[in-house]
Amino acid sequence: MPDIAAAFRGVRQSLTEQLMELEEPLWDTPIPIRSEWSVKDTLAMLTGFAEALIEGHWDEDYSDSWSDKSMRERLQERFQAMIDIRKDRSGGEVLREWATLAPRMERMMAGLDPFPAGIHPFAAWTYLWAVVQNAHNIWTALGVVSKERDSEATSLCLESAIYWLDMRLQAKSLPALRLRTGDDEWVIGDGIPAATVTAPKFELFRALSGRRSLDQIRDFSWDGDPGPYLAVFSPFEPPVAAIVE
């Protein structure tokens, strides 16, 4: 079993080290993929999300938000509420709140403490995904190339992203797809793959989570027609402009 608690700890510590030294004006730096959110807003969301999981307030599974607009809107409303509650706090105060919640979150992710009743069974994976993706969003906003690009946490979230793409392929009855990065290969969907896509690990990971434009995805190395897969390659609406990290 992968140690997702240790993966979370590693990314959180790396991000915390970066943010502890952040000058106050830089907390307002906008996130390239979501310009209405700042660095502080993004951390406030991660902090509020941890609090909701610990206190048992996260009882809906949003896995189908990629295809359900109303579910997607509810998810965004919940995240925005977490940000709004913390809008009058400084970035440093939000960072300290996250640090206070982290030990309990780690124990729950490690299975040492139970999640509250009603929390969906993939809560630990969901939170790891949120932390890894949004940490990379923050690093990109600040112009930092983090060592976490090659971390176990990023690799685990890539595996999760590929599993989620498999679900979307099957939901849309699309042909199977082969994905390659380095020495790793996955075949997802049903039947014989109709296409193969090859890309660097970090690029593939970010593309599978709405952080690359359709043109960037088309520019990956494709053996076969990428067309049928573009609409489901990401569970979120991809950016119009290229995101370069």
> Between vectors from CA 212 to CA 86 and to CA 236, what angle results, nearest 5°?
60
Are both 122 and 175 inside the same structural domain? Answer: no
Indicate whether 237 belongs to any domain: no
In the listed set 150, 170, 187, which residue is the last one of a domain according to the structure? 150
Indicate whether 92 belongs to any domain: yes
pTM value is 0.94
Tally of domains in the chain: 2
Q: What is the DSSP letter of 130?
A: H
- Is the separation of the CB atoms in 99 and 16 below 8 Å? yes
List, for residues 177-194, the tens digit of each pLDDT value. 999 999 999 999 999 999
Indicate whether 14 belongs to any domain: yes
Q: In this predicted structure, what is the pLDDT of residue 150?
A: 94
Residue in this structure with the two tokens 């139970």, named with its chain if needed: 114
Are both 11 and 129 inside the same structural domain? Answer: yes
Question: Which of 127, 134, 132 shows the shortest CA–CA distance to 151?
Answer: 132
Residues in the chain where the model's pLDDT stays below 50: none
The structure tokens listed for 131 are: 């932390």
CATH number at residue 203: 3.30.1050.10
Are both 216 and 107 inside the same structural domain? Answer: no
Domain span at 45: 4-150
Alpha carbons 187 and 201: distance in angstroms, whole number: 16
Are both 28 and 81 inside the same structural domain? Answer: yes
List, for residues 18-43, the tens digit of each pLDDT value. 999 999 999 999 999 899 999 999 99
In the listed set 111, 134, 150, which residue is the last one of a domain according to the structure? 150
CATH number at residue 135: 1.20.120
- Is the separation of the CB atoms in 9 and 127 below 8 Å? no
In the listed set 92, 124, 150, which residue is the last one of a domain according to the structure? 150
Are both 20 and 105 inside the same structural domain? Answer: yes
- Is the separation of the CB atoms in 202 and 209 below 8 Å? no
